[in-house]
Structure 1
């Protein structure tokens, strides 16, 4: 059987179907001044100075709004609300500056990860774009669901602007989840391609050699994409875990104080504040858990790739090129593959989400115990 090898386009050229798959998050990122890259004439490139200045101006608007919020709360608010606002505003301002800096520093990596994924997709003849498009639109839709519910619970312009500004941070997690899904689907498709080509026979030595070299390079591209992914999202993962943990406890303590003293924030009482606080905490826990879950599914797909290579090497009719591919992939996984960590503090996998949720509940119980004494 003759095996055909399709030539690759230029590395920075994005296929239309791939652009459609990433379009939902590109749209959302532009809405919060957090675009990761530009696409001109179907070619991807890092953002240049004009957009970086525009993005910086948008971040300054978010920061300015936080300062104004703090000013008016200090002018009219109760001490419990002032303490909560001070913690919240300080945390957000530092985070806005840090996240913007990360986006600028790693702007070339933001392009490289997309290029690596698409290059691998071309090599393995990826076909599940329609599913990816649907899930990415759903991922963006989740942001607007949480945002809309918060506005319905507390219909106020200032509160609407506040929740709009913190989408800036949530986009990091949901976009990272989408990229991890892309990489995982690439590995799963790679396994299918390897099994297919190992099941057919060809009399043309050069063609077989070329096919398995192409598949090995595709696997390396996916692993390179994962390495870039770890650099891009290790800090944002740490931020969301710490932010969710601290703010959940601060929210709870503030609600307790407001309830004891019958404090109002504007026209809203403790019931409104508590509803939004619970919704916000649930949203963050959901996003962090989903991110960890998708990372775990990717690790499983790498394990399945190893298992497939071991299984295929036992076949008696395996060509030497196929055996070389399987051995090289297994050698790479043993020597170089490592799970993602959040700034070397904890490993991002399914157990992380479980331990974090358990720790969060334990501390919430402690705060409630002190409140009821």
Structure 2
């Protein structure tokens, strides 16, 4: 029992994670399992099923590349075949890496979740309900975007696409799962950091003991350490996702050019609508992640500014020590997320 206590996950955090866990389990991509409020690595059977699922997705991409219905629709534009091959190789590489990475980083995924909740006992964090609702809405909108593209495919292009293309579309959704997770978690950390700034402002206005200042410093350190784990587990995946979006974009461009040269396709203007919507969806997710990271970095800058401003005021020695320690940690430990290492 003593060994399990540090792995206890509070109900509020579980409610926040629930839509992400549901989304991950749809594609057998769950990073961990939470049962009876205890977070654990996934069972061996789940790992086997996840491996089979990845092999199936790889098979779908290979099958689609070889037997793509687009080969019958594009008669004079052979470059599409090369682009499909490049896209297939990049996608299959990403599937393998995602599976191996999640397996290798499973302990870090658990450490990340546990680190996120460490400061909950200290900070007055009363915005869980709002975050939970926003997270459900965000995950639902992400799924709705994919469902909308499916509808466009099968309502307007039913004569063009077959079952293999449907399976390919499902496999493409696989890459949306981790980026949705990354966006939600960086936003979660940013909100916690924003609340920390509010707390230190309130603390500076009243007399506090050294113990409280030490707890505030521990809170900030936990947020920064959580971000370092976040970088470690998601940095390479985001890099691969960026490359996958790039190759997908090439594919979409070749589709557009190919359909423009083809006399066989019957989709009309809806072909272009569907292809452009697929491209915009991928770019929108990456842009959202970039935006959330930028907001997080600006919040870190706000911490630096606030501590520097407080040092110019008449403060207790404990508060001055807190501000100096925070600035030291900020300058030595915090490094921005870079997809290239």
Shift of residue 334, structure 1, vs aligned partner: 1.8
Q: Take 1:82 and 1:249, find their aligned partners in 2: how far apart are those partners?
A: 12
Aligned pair partner of 1:297 in 295, 309, 315: 295
**SS state of the match for residue 201, structure 1?**
coil
Q: Name the CA distance, whole Å, in 1 between partners of 2:276 and 2:187.
A: 28
1:335 aligned residue: 332
The RMSD of aligned alpha carbons is: 2.1
Residues 75, 297 of structure 1: alpha-carbon distance in 2 compared, 3 angstrom cutoff: closer
Give 2:96's aligned residue: 97
**Which position in structure 1 is the counterpart of 2:320?**
323
Q: 1:201 aligns with which of 196, 200, 207?
A: 207
1:360 is aligned to none
Q: Which is further off, 95-104 or 247-256? A: 247-256
The residue number in structure 1 matching 2:253 is 252
Q: Note if contact 1:116-1:222 (Cα within 8 Å) is conserved in structure 2.
A: yes
1:48 is aligned to 43
> Residue by residue, what CA displacement relative to the aligned partner does 1:200-255 show, whole Å, maximum 9, x if unpaired?
225xxxxx222111111111110011111111221222223222233223321232
Listed as ranges, the gaps of 5+ residues in structure 1 are 1-8, 203-207, 345-373
Check conservation: 2:91, 2:244, Cα contact below 8 A.
no
Secondary structure, counterpart of 2:39 in structure 1: strand
Structure 1 residues 31-42: aligned runs within 5 Å: 31-42=26-37
Give the counterpart of 1:177 among 183, 186, 190.
183
After superposition, where does 1:106-117 map in structure 2 within 5 Å? 106-117=105-116
- Flag the structure with more relative contact order, 1 or 2, with Cα contacts below 8 A and sequence separation at least 6: 2
Shift of the 39–253 alpha-carbon distance from structure 1 to 2, 3 Å rule, reads same
* 1:135-146 equivalence runs, <5 A: 135-146=134-145
Whole-angstrom CA distance in 2 between matches of 1:75 and 1:18: 46
Distance in 1 (CA, whole Å) between partners of 2:219 and 2:227 is: 13
Equivalent residues of 2:235, 2:337 under 8 A apart: yes
- Structure 1 SS opposite 2:34: strand
CA contact 1:188–1:301 (8 Å) conserved in 2:
yes
- Alignment-derived partner of residue 158 in structure 2: none
Q: How many residues align?
A: 327
Counterpart Cα distance in 2 of 1:44 and 1:148 = 31
Partner of 1:11, secondary structure, is: helix
1:60 to 52, 55, 64: 55
Given that 1:70 and 1:85 are in contact with CA atoms closer than 8 Å, whether structure 2 keeps it comes out as: yes
Q: Which moved more, 1:19-28 or 1:64-73?
A: 64-73
Range that drifts further, 146-155 or 65-74: 65-74
Give the drift of 1:96. 0.7
Question: How far is the alpha carbon of 1:80 from its aligned partner?
Answer: 5.2
Tell me, in whole angstroms, the C-alpha distance in 2 between the residues paired with 1:255 and 1:118: 47
Conserved? CA contact 2:119–2:219, under 8 Å: yes
Question: C-alpha deviations, 1:129-171, integer Å up to 9, x for none?
Answer: 1121122112211222222221221115443322222221111
8 A Cα contact 2:32 2:39, kept in partner: yes
Match of 1:23 among 18, 40, 52: 18
Structure 2's unaligned 5+ residue stretches are 155-161
